[in-house]
Amino acid sequence: MSLPVFLADLDAYLAGDTPVLPEIGAQFVLDGAEGKHAATVKRLQVGEVLILIDGCGAGVEARVEGVDKAALALQVLARHEFPRPAVTVVQALPKAERSELAVDLMTQGGVGTIVPWQASRSIAKWANKAEKGRAKWRSAAVAAAKQSRRLSVPEIGQLAQSSADVVELIQQCRMAGGTAVMLHEEASVPFASVALAEPLLIIVGPEGGLAPEEVEEFRAAGAAATVLGPEVLRTASAGLVALAAYGALRRW
């Protein structure tokens, strides 16, 4: 069974900072919400080993040396690097009740970066609350990463406020030698037939689908329009399905 995973400093990570990991051989106290969860919910005991991560691609193995009601005393044994996958999903803002579900599912599916996008047909509007929205997505990504025992947490990118912002991401991906695809129900090219290369950029539209002008802009920038089977997927689950298909085709 894989080792349980905890953020070395949950508050720092949720605030957008990178937690500082202890060095090999150092003593470390895991307290706060993570320490309480480890001690009272996971009920870790002296001698057990866990992984502390900074959420950004690095982590350490640590052995439990002491336990109280809300903290663990740890001895750091080894350091590892856990780079984020080179897969980005540009996710059009879903309806409020599905927003964090989309992040949860994509985290389980192995996404590296999630970029929220204010698509022209998005029902949800972040307007002046983009940072609040990103904070909620970051919390959802942390919870899903820990549950699935991921050793890196997906990065939540800045809000793409228009199709022009997405075009820039497509161009950056293509210049790096990667593949950009958009999921489009009216496309005729199956997702599985596209020659996919990392870095990979996947564009997921909103509940109403991609607008025709968005499709044309993205195609002109170098993104392939692809279809994921005969069914029309919900925006909250489309990213996961694409990630799972990519995993089966190229990664697993």
Which pLDDT score, from 0 to 100, does residue 141 have? 96
**CA nearest to 30, candidates 69, 73, 61:** 73
Neighbours of 145 (CB within 10 A): 21
For residue 190, give the DSSP letter. Answer: B
Which pLDDT score, from 0 to 100, does residue 174 have? 97
Which pLDDT score, from 0 to 100, does residue 158 have? 95
CA 221, CA 216: separation in Å to the nearest integer? 9
Could you tell me the pTM of the whole model?
0.91
Which pLDDT score, from 0 to 100, does residue 1 have? 57
Residues of the chain where predicted confidence (pLDDT) is lower than 70: 1
Burial of 37 by CB count in 10 Å (0-12 exposed, 13-18 middle, 19+ buried)? middle
In the chain, the domains with their CATH numbers are 5-81 (2.40.240.20), 87-251 (3.40.1280.10)
Place of tokens 């057990």: 48
CA 239, CA 241: separation in Å to the nearest integer? 5
Distances (CA, A) of 203 to 11, 50, 120, 166, 182: 30, 35, 14, 9, 4
